[in-house]
Amino acid sequence: MQWSPGQPWPGPRRARAIVALWGVVPGKGALADNTVLALAAQDLALQLGAERVLHCSSAAVYAPAPAPQAEEAANPQSDYGHAKLAMEQALQDWAGEHPEGPAFCAMRIGNVAGADSAFAAIARGGPVTMDRFADGGGPRRSYLSHAMLAQAVDALLSCPLSSLPRVVNLADRGVIDMADLVRAAGRALLWNDTGRTGSTITLDLACLSRLTPPLAADITRLLADGAFLAGENP
């Protein structure tokens, strides 16, 4: 079944929840459409009598910082981050205008295994060139494995509505240096020395931990997830 906002809904007339995994990423369309899609999901949920909607936001709403960032620390540095934060604010406004409507949760997703720049470079084959920072390492990120994504979505769908956070960080527990991913994938690593301080964006998972225990970040599992997305597994 396919559906686009503005078309008649062809599916069931009732739903308990909607998981809106759509969105616009840089280079793939107008970033402002992230808000259009999120509000369309809320409107559809209202039409179907759903009690909650889960939306895809992003760790791009945070600026690089040495410490894990809690949900209150949003400070986007890119157009994509600004678009996702604007989407979250639009959801807040929608909820204020529809106090009896469905609840929402904006999932601020970390780097998804198989779907970020490090994995794209690995998939191309050959040596990988990466920025090296003053601490001697590459960019460090909170990664989200496919298993943790499924576990978190299940927890957000099954928790009492009163416990559903409006914003929550989603990632595996721990931080991964992208250079370690490249090495573990067997690719040669070429450095571009920046001389700058480290580029670290890690997520505070205290809110998520109240709903479900985060899995520990594991490079082997992340690489397997990336291979699955690339179609390398049967």
Domains annotated on the chain, with CATH: 17-229 (3.40.50.720)
Sign for the CA dihedral angle at 88, 93, 94, 99 comes to: positive
Q: What is the pTM of this model?
A: 0.94
Average confidence (pLDDT) over 43-71: 97
pLDDT digits (tens, 9 = 90+) for 96-116: 999 999 999 999 999 999 999
| C-alpha span between 130 and 50 (Å, rounded) | 45
pLDDT digits (tens, 9 = 90+) for 170-226: 999 999 999 999 999 999 999 999 888 878 999 999 999 999 999 999 999 999 999
pLDDT for residue 228 is more than 90: no
129 strand-pairing partners:
190
What is the Cα Rg of the chain in Å? 19
Write phi, then psi, for 101 (nearest 5 degrees).
-85, -175
pLDDT digits (tens, 9 = 90+) for 147-160: 999 999 999 999 99
Which of 133, 211, 113 is closest to 179 using CA atoms? Answer: 133
Structure tokens at 24: 């616009």
HEC profile of 133-181: CCCCCCCEECEECHHHHHHHHHHHHHCCHHHCCCEEEECCECCEEHHHH
Amino acid symbol at 99: P
Sign for the CA dihedral angle at 178, 180, 182, 188 comes to: positive
